[in-house]
Chain A
């Protein structure tokens, strides 16, 4: 297996590592960098638990190869807070009660933050559309949607 040297930023910090050609971004994060907040729910791009932001866009990290991220800015759930200060979407989802088992939460937070970045004032339909690729089996989604609406008000 050929290895490739790639350079990128992860949650604002520069990194340079060698990765095999077939390693997904998800595996690189979890197994090479030890950044385990991003979850693996299906390895097939269907559940959204592994959503991260690449250059501001939400992406299923199980569906992209690490080598494709050379030169990218990657943000995971660990990168949403700054200096221990939580982002509004993190505060809002705690407040609304949109968390149960928490396994989908990192992907939901990233997808929501990406939505708020491109549309600071989304309506309910836009929120539901933006999160349609993030499966949650616990909450019934109501409080997650509320959290995004609240976060939009907080910004």
Chain B
């Protein structure tokens, strides 16, 4: 189907910038987040005793004094729970049992009648440790002589596409062996080799992790959590506790930012475990801002080596990339970040000869998890600077080298997957045009230098091959529509987009659609997780299928009642119409009570409820030795960013003056929300490029506060942000849509680094590109004295 044909068939309100469904509750303070839920006087408060050592054996724990403190209702330790947790690799217990692996590892938990008593109780718990040598760097961690963090690695349950290496600290090793890299180097006229280090950063949702658990006398467990993943939490917590999934009910109210850190399970299991001992009283655990920085998930550290070469025409012939991921103490989620970086390891380029190793390494650092873009921002930070450098060395324009080599429809990707239609070339053109590529604008002062930079990206949803979605659509007496779904609106606007899709598929006004929320695993239909930018595409398909099912039921009923061919019937603006007989019947009433039979003797029909599901069935496995296969992923969203910066020669400070983004979203269901993702993602990417790093010294986080870990503020963010929507339809996306939530922060750090190079001629190989680092690099290069 051509683009024009698809566009002709797109019904309202698809493609319209409808206002968010949750606008009014969010501007009036009425929106309810986990910490706003009221539990009355019975509520207990939990606090967690964390490991003070990066690596140690637990010799003994004495909780008797804490238990004796008045007001303390429960004290739990690893002795109480032997089950394992983990999304792709079950490598962690709920509480540490014999060993602690990072500063922050949970050793014991207390529930008390007040937070103050709980804090006092922690101080009464006596733990004896035998301190061990830590692993502080992934390159050190792979060495044979490195201390072993998980001696039982070979016994852990693991997904069949993850490859841990027993007897080492390597929890996954993803390999690409494509073509012949060694002989390709001889054909290259230009070769670039560089090492990059991308530090741990944190997601920094403004709402910290908060969860409340209640374990009633019948064994039913209820968890209210600020959560991206109510169903995955139900599943993983049930497995760890050895109870039925249906005994665990997760309710997910509004969430104050996630970006991946509230996916999977982290602190939620702790509060459920504590609640098992409070005799039915609910227990609340709210992470402090300090705890948020290092006891929940962080982004993995990356040490990356790139080698790439091109011929005289700028065609990239070979890449050899090695990624050492500092996965932290547990890599239950992180192993798949490593895999995603492996199967996307060339970036969005068609490269005939590739050798890549993406290696997940345990370190005695905080736990690496999913962070917006899932391995891609880290990897692209170095890769896209190397491509830039290759262009400069080969005497080719950096935008042109990208246009020459970027993936196009039919390109063979790094895993042997034949690339689907993609608008990447168009994105590159659009950002270059918008930033006025090739034109240098004058600096604002004599001591300043301006530069422009571009970086491009790709990212596929990283998930199991069979991650599913489901939905239902029911109607009320007044013809309004209620959509049941199990994904979460993190702020990206998923519920608004789902309402638009349901309205379009059913034939009702947008204003008459509600989303059944909060998501509650007892009543909501299944959804794997709100991650991987997969909801618009996957949950969208489920919602559309459910709405079409309801529509079919309505039309079947009316066609029988009116004795007309359903082909001649339609639902428009909530009214069933016949194009043949020109009869009309509003949906109201008929969707509950049905219609009188033509002879008026009784009724036909009944309450309408549509159901829908979606699960990709076409993703194939990859060869463990070569990483080659038929279809590695569901699809790639691609895009490009160009920026203009100004560097202050006196201080090294970088100001980002302008940012231009273009992404191929397939079809923008709600263009304003798509642009909002591009703007917010750009600034988050810019913040990670210029300011952010969890400073780790000997395994201790040095800066767990907003004063010492700075994120971009109003005065840092540029006011000139341009967002360009490119639409090359996805064959199995609703009206061609694919995801966009994560992608806008993927190329940003590289684009800024390339602009810094353009401005002052220095390569920044390790973010954050602080004023100090830039000044010292300029000093080294003799640019300043």
Whether the pair A37, B23 counts as a contact (CB closer than 8 A) is no
- Set of chain B residues within 8 Å of A100, measured between Cβ atoms: 257, 490-493, 676, 680
A101-B711 contact in complex given A39-B206, A142-B719, C-beta closer than 8 Å: no
The digit string for B705-722, where 1 denotes a CB below 8 A from any CB of A, is 111000101110101010
Bound complex: CA A105 to CA B27 (Å): 7
Whether the pair A131, B31 counts as a contact (CB closer than 8 A) is no
> Considering residues A81, A95, A97, which has the most beta carbons from chain B within 10 angstroms of its beta carbon?
A97
- Set of chain A residues within 8 Å of B707, measured between Cβ atoms: 44, 46
Question: In this assembly, does A86 line the interface, its C-beta being within 8 Å of a C-beta of chain B?
Answer: yes
Question: In this assembly, does A154 line the interface, its C-beta being within 8 Å of a C-beta of chain B?
Answer: no
Bound complex: CA A131 to CA B713 (Å): 8
- Set of chain A residues within 8 Å of B205, measured between Cβ atoms: 101, 103, 137
Question: In this assembly, does B341 line the interface, its C-beta being within 8 Å of a C-beta of chain A?
Answer: no
Question: In this assembly, does A24 line the interface, its C-beta being within 8 Å of a C-beta of chain B?
Answer: no
Whether the pair A99, B705 counts as a contact (CB closer than 8 A) is no
The segment from B33-41, B128-136, B438-446 found at the interface with A is B33-41
Whether the pair A141, B711 counts as a contact (CB closer than 8 A) is no
- Set of chain B residues within 8 Å of A136, measured between Cβ atoms: 206
- Set of chain A residues within 8 Å of B25, measured between Cβ atoms: 102
Whether the pair B31, A102 counts as a contact (CB closer than 8 A) is yes
A37-B28 contact in complex given A101-B206, A102-B254, A140-B683, C-beta closer than 8 Å: yes
- Set of chain B residues within 8 Å of A94, measured between Cβ atoms: 19-20, 23-24, 27
Bound complex: CA A42 to CA B708 (Å): 13
Q: How large is the interface on B (under 10, 10 to 19, 20 to 34, 35 or more residues)?
A: 35 or more
- Set of chain A residues within 8 Å of B26, measured between Cβ atoms: 99, 102, 105
Question: In this assembly, does B256 line the interface, its C-beta being within 8 Å of a C-beta of chain A?
Answer: yes
Question: In this assembly, does A93 line the interface, its C-beta being within 8 Å of a C-beta of chain B?
Answer: yes
Whether the pair A137, B27 counts as a contact (CB closer than 8 A) is no
Question: In this assembly, does A43 line the interface, its C-beta being within 8 Å of a C-beta of chain B?
Answer: yes
- Set of chain B residues within 8 Å of A17, measured between Cβ atoms: none
Question: In this assembly, does B165 line the interface, its C-beta being within 8 Å of a C-beta of chain A?
Answer: no
A102 CB to closest chain B CB (Å) equals 4
Question: In this assembly, does B673 line the interface, its C-beta being within 8 Å of a C-beta of chain A?
Answer: yes
The total of Cβ contacts below 8 Å across the A-B interface reads 166
The digit string for B456-490, where 1 denotes a CB below 8 A from any CB of A, is 00000000000000000000000000000000001
Whether the pair B204, A137 counts as a contact (CB closer than 8 A) is yes
Question: In this assembly, does B769 line the interface, its C-beta being within 8 Å of a C-beta of chain A?
Answer: no
- Set of chain A residues within 8 Å of B17, measured between Cβ atoms: 97
Interface size in chain A (residues, C-beta < 8 A): 54
The digit string for B490-527, where 1 denotes a CB below 8 A from any CB of A, is 11110000000000000000000000000000000000
Residues in B665-693 with C-beta less than 8 Å from chain A: 672-673, 675-676, 679-684
Considering the complex, give the chain A residue whose CB is closest to the CB of B19.
A94
Whether the pair B672, A97 counts as a contact (CB closer than 8 A) is yes
Whether the pair A135, B717 counts as a contact (CB closer than 8 A) is no
Bound complex: CA A141 to CA B718 (Å): 9
- Set of chain B residues within 8 Å of A36, measured between Cβ atoms: 29, 32, 35-36
Question: In this assembly, does A61 line the interface, its C-beta being within 8 Å of a C-beta of chain B?
Answer: no
Residues in B200-235 with C-beta less than 8 Å from chain A: 203-208
Bound complex: CA A26 to CA B628 (Å): 56
B34 CB to closest chain A CB (Å) equals 11
Bound complex: CA A128 to CA B207 (Å): 22
> Considering residues A47, A106, A128, A137, which has the most beta carbons from chain B within 10 angstroms of its beta carbon?
A137
A24 CB to closest chain B CB (Å) equals 13
- Set of chain A residues within 8 Å of B207, measured between Cβ atoms: 39, 41, 49, 101, 103
Considering the complex, give the chain B residue whose CB is closest to the CB of A146.
B719
- Set of chain A residues within 8 Å of B705, measured between Cβ atoms: 42, 44, 46
Question: In this assembly, does A34 line the interface, its C-beta being within 8 Å of a C-beta of chain B?
Answer: yes
- Set of chain B residues within 8 Å of A114, measured between Cβ atoms: none
Residues in A93-147 with C-beta less than 8 Å from chain B: 93-95, 97, 99-106, 109, 124, 127-129, 131-145
Question: In this assembly, does B255 line the interface, its C-beta being within 8 Å of a C-beta of chain A?
Answer: yes
Question: In this assembly, does A68 line the interface, its C-beta being within 8 Å of a C-beta of chain B?
Answer: no
Residue of B31, B32, B715 near A129 (CB, 8 A) is: B715
A37-B30 contact in complex given A132-B714, A138-B491, C-beta closer than 8 Å: yes
Whether the pair B713, A39 counts as a contact (CB closer than 8 A) is no
Bound complex: CA A143 to CA B254 (Å): 21
Bound complex: CA A105 to CA B207 (Å): 12
The digit string for B176-217, where 1 denotes a CB below 8 A from any CB of A, is 000000000000000000000000000111111000000000
Residue of A42, A47, A90, A137 near B28 (CB, 8 A) is: A90
Bound complex: CA A106 to CA B35 (Å): 15
Question: In this assembly, does B758 line the interface, its C-beta being within 8 Å of a C-beta of chain A?
Answer: no
Residue of A42, A93, A128, A133 near B27 (CB, 8 A) is: A93
Whether the pair B35, A40 counts as a contact (CB closer than 8 A) is yes
Whether the pair B256, A39 counts as a contact (CB closer than 8 A) is yes
Whether the pair A97, B204 counts as a contact (CB closer than 8 A) is no
Question: In this assembly, does B259 line the interface, its C-beta being within 8 Å of a C-beta of chain A?
Answer: yes
Considering the complex, give the chain A residue whose CB is closest to the CB of B29.
A37
Bound complex: CA A71 to CA B410 (Å): 72
A140-B30 contact in complex given A99-B20, A100-B676, A100-B680, C-beta closer than 8 Å: no
> Considering residues B23, B203, B682, B711, which has the most beta carbons from chain A within 10 angstroms of its beta carbon?
B23
A139 CB to closest chain B CB (Å) equals 5
Bound complex: CA A2 to CA B672 (Å): 52
- Set of chain B residues within 8 Å of A95, measured between Cβ atoms: 19
Whether the pair B35, A101 counts as a contact (CB closer than 8 A) is no
Whether the pair A78, B23 counts as a contact (CB closer than 8 A) is no
- Set of chain A residues within 8 Å of B259, measured between Cβ atoms: 137
Question: In this assembly, does A77 line the interface, its C-beta being within 8 Å of a C-beta of chain B?
Answer: yes
A81-B28 contact in complex given A101-B491, A139-B676, A140-B680, C-beta closer than 8 Å: yes
Bound complex: CA A40 to CA B210 (Å): 11
Bound complex: CA A86 to CA B26 (Å): 12
A48 CB to closest chain B CB (Å) equals 9
A103-B684 contact in complex given A137-B711, A141-B714, C-beta closer than 8 Å: no
Bound complex: CA A35 to CA B29 (Å): 9
What are 13 A-B pairs with beta-carbon distances under 8 A? A41-B206, A41-B207, A42-B705, A49-B206, A101-B254, A102-B22, A137-B257, A137-B684, A138-B257, A138-B491, A139-B679, A140-B682, A140-B684
List 10 tightest A-B contacts by C-beta distance, closest first: A37-B29, A103-B256, A101-B491, A100-B491, A140-B683, A102-B26, A46-B706, A77-B29, A36-B36, A140-B679
13 additional contacts, CB 8 Å, given A43-B289, A44-B707, A47-B706?
A: A30-B36, A35-B29, A37-B28, A46-B707, A49-B206, A86-B27, A95-B19, A97-B672, A97-B675, A99-B491, A101-B490, A137-B711, A145-B714
